[in-house]
Structure 1
Amino acid sequence: MYFAALLARTEDGWEASDTDLDDVETLSDLTELAREASADEDTVLVFIEQEDAWFGIVRLDGEDDPRIFLSDAAAANRSSYGEILLTDELLGRDPGTDDDLEELVDLDGTEDGEPEPPAVTAEDGSDDYDDGSEEAADAVPAGPLGDLDILADLGVSRRTLLAFESDALSEIADALGASEVLETVR
C-alpha cells in the first residue's frame, strides 16, 4: 500500500494535500503535479511511502531541478512509483543507454549475425554458474540513494534523515513542523 502527499511551504506555514499518482508515469509528470500545488515558487515536497519498505522525497524549489532522496533504492526499484524516482542521473547512468542497447541486441542477447557465446558452466560441470551479470545489469544499490541534504536547510540533517525507519514521513513532517497538516491527508 502506498501513501503519497504534497507539502507546500507558504508564508503561513506548510499546506498538505493528498495526491493521486495513478496518472504519473515519469519524474516530469510528478514535477508538474508538485509545481501546480504551489501558488508561488515556494518549496514543495512530495512524500511517497510504500508501507515500511521504502520512502522517497522529491523537493522542488521554484524552477530548479527536482532533488530526490530514496531510503532504499533497491526496494523502490521493485515498485512502479519508486521506478519513477530512479532516474539515470540519480543512478549515475548515461541517459538512454538502455534504449540504445535494446536496439543493438537481438532477442537472444546477441547482435545480429553474431554467434551465441559458448555456455559457461560451474567448476563442478553443472549449469549453476553465476557470473554476477544479473546484478551488474540491475545496478540499483540497496540502501539510501540521492540527495542526503535534501532537508538540511529545513532542520533535518543527513544523519537524522538516514536514521528514520518506520513511519519516517510522519517523523520528518514532525521535524518540519508539519505533522498536523500531513495527518489531515493521511
Structure 2
Amino acid sequence: MRLILMGPPGAGKGTQAARVAARYDVPAISTGDIFRANVAAATPLGISAKAYMDAGEYVPDELTDALVRDRLSQPDCERGFLLDGYPRTTAQVTELDAILSDIGSRLDAVVVLEADQQQLVERLLNRAQVEGRSDDTEDVIRRRLEVYAQETAPLIDLYAARGLTEHVDGIGRVDDITDLINAAVDRRTSALDSDAMTG
C-alpha cells in the first residue's frame, strides 16, 4: 500500500501511522519526526528547520522535498509506504507526483483524520506538558492550525477529485480510530483488487 495520512496537528497522525504501517508492513515516513531528529542532533538540516518549526511555520518546500525524494528512493519503500506530514502544500503535491512518477509508483489512498479545533488545541497543550515540546505553546499551536487550514486543508479537495480520499473521525479511543482507518484502507484495497481483476 502507498498511503498518505493527512489531518491537522494533534489529530493523532503519528500514533495511527505507526499502527497502520505495521499492519501493512510498510515504512511510516514522518517528515516531522525526521526534522525533529535532525534538530536534536543539530545537523545542518535541523539548524535550518528549527527556526521555522519554533515559529509554527512550515519548513520550506525545497528542504522537505529533498528529504522525501531521498527517503522514497530507499529499498524498504519498494513494497509501499505511509507518508505522515507530506505533502503539506500544493507545490509539494506536484513534487510528490513527480517523485512517484520517477520511481514508477502511485498513491493508493489518502486517509484524512478529522477533529475539532478546540479539542486539538487542548490535546496539543497536554502533549507539550507530557513530552516537553518547546514548539508547542498555545500561540504556536494556534498558528500551526491556521497554517494547516490555509496551506494543507485545500489538498484534501485536490485528492478527493482524484478519488483517493477516505475520511475518518480522529477523536475517540485510539484503538477505535485504528479500526476505522483499517476498514477504510481495506475498502480501498478491495476496490483496487477488483479493478485489477476487471482491468
TM-score of the pair, normalised by structure 1: 0.32
Larger radius of gyration: 1
Larger helix share, 1 or 2:
2
TM-score of the pair, normalised by structure 2: 0.31
Larger strand share, 1 or 2:
1
Q: Which one has more relative contact order, counting CA pairs under 8 Å at least 6 apart?
A: 2
